[in-house]
Amino acid sequence: MKIALCSTFVPFLFGGARNIVDWLQTMLEQEGHHVERIYLPENDSPDLLFQQMAAFRWIDLSAADRVICFRPQSHLIQHPHKILWFIHHVRVFYDLYDSPYRGFPDDAKHRGIRDALVAADNVALREAKHVFTNSRVVSARLSKYNQVDSEVLYPPVFQAERFHCRGHSDEIVYVCRLEHHKRQHLLIEALALTTTPVRVRLCGSSAGPHYPNELNELITRLKLQQRVSMENRWVTEEEKVDYLADCLAAAYLPLDEDSYGYPSVEASHASKAILTTTDSGGVLELVSDGINGYVADPTPAALAAALDKLYRERATTIAMGARARARLDELNISWSHVLERLLA
């Protein structure tokens, strides 16, 4: 089958939205399919949004037997057999419109843009033969904002067998882009309130220098230079495997995340407990408090208490890590299931 995988990207910024496309291409090709991967650059600037959307609307992919679309606004592509693996909306015009992350005024111009965007999305979403999402959170948003039904299809990681447990150090690892909504600052603020010598390692690149600089200033101000290791770069897959193999537990603290996030799944494959928060969105579909990790209130004090428990109650932490690995099987997170559904 000739399959086109279509998505968008932010130039020079890497993250899970690229992984899901790249990894699916490899799995489809292993099954004998002919795959083309098609990316167009996109950002959420209101004044550029509709120009970018028009580019997708005019793409001709009639040579493909099937088109699978991922990140917005790739779902605007027209094709008689369009499948969506819908990752998220342009969130600043949907669930984040009334949040500090909007970045533009709530005026007549931007409300008009929002209304036009929702109308265009409603048309494009209904053209699809089937709509999958990466989490119950995203399915709920599609139902709420677009009145579109969807099926949850959890994304696996590539070559999951790479991840393993080698031991348990005193370090909590957070491998993720350094962005304010990922809230690495909360983990640093929590560390300052701990009573144990637990340590934190932060790994990830950023869209700009502002937030990493804020984190470095926070580490210095709280005198945590000896307890926080921060690598402002995209660590290699080999480094990530090693960090997860040896750490005590993993952290993932985003604000209302679209899905459970690859950091959580990778940590689970490494049999490590996961620390997250009550408002982290899709992560809560994977992590249950006291079962395969801790779900704390999004405050430094609550997170500090959880960090101390992970350190002090090591046997419990190790047992939660084992259950984190078992949770993946419970949710049927596998490439065989993904291919079965996408190609049905």
Both tokens of residue 146?
A: 């677009």
Pairwise CA distance, residues 65 & 251, whole Å: 41
Output the pLDDT for position 258.
Answer: 86
Pairwise CA distance, residues 140 & 20, whole Å: 21
Where do we find the tokens 């909504």? 181
Q: By C-alpha distance, which of 142, 161, 144, 166 is closest to 152?
A: 142
Domain 2-153 has CATH 3.40.50: yes
Helix 16-30 / helix 335-342 crossing angle, nearest 10 deg? 80
Output the pLDDT for position 110.
Answer: 96
In sequence order, the β-bridge partners of residue 230 are 202
Output the pLDDT for position 181.
Answer: 93
Both tokens of residue 284?
A: 């809560």
SS3 assignment, position 242? helix
CA 239 to chain centre: 19
Output the pLDDT for position 247.
Answer: 98
Backbone angles phi, psi at 7, to 5 degrees: -155, 180
Pairwise CA distance, residues 163 & 238, whole Å: 10
Output the pLDDT for position 210.
Answer: 96
**Domain 2-153 matches domain 160-330 at the CATH topology level:** yes
Domain 160-330 has CATH 2.40.110.10: no
Output the pLDDT for position 17.
Answer: 73
Count the Cβ atoms, other than its own, within 10 Å of residue 132. 23
Output the pLDDT for position 207.
Answer: 82
Which stretches of the chain drop beneath a pLDDT of 70?
13-16
Helices (H), the chain: 16-30, 46-57, 108-127, 136-141, 184-191, 210-221, 237-246, 262-269, 300-312, 314-330, 335-342
SS3 assignment, position 90? coil
Q: What is the pLDDT of residues 194-237, one digit of tens each?
A: 999 999 999 999 988 999 999 999 999 999 999 999 999 989 99
Output the pLDDT for position 19.
Answer: 85
Output the pLDDT for position 89.
Answer: 95
Domain ranges of the chain: 2-153, 160-330
Beta carbons of 164 and 270 less than 8 angstroms apart: yes
Where do we find the tokens 């027209």? 78
Pairwise CA distance, residues 57 & 120, whole Å: 10
Where do we find the tokens 């550029």? 48
Pairwise CA distance, residues 149 & 130, whole Å: 9
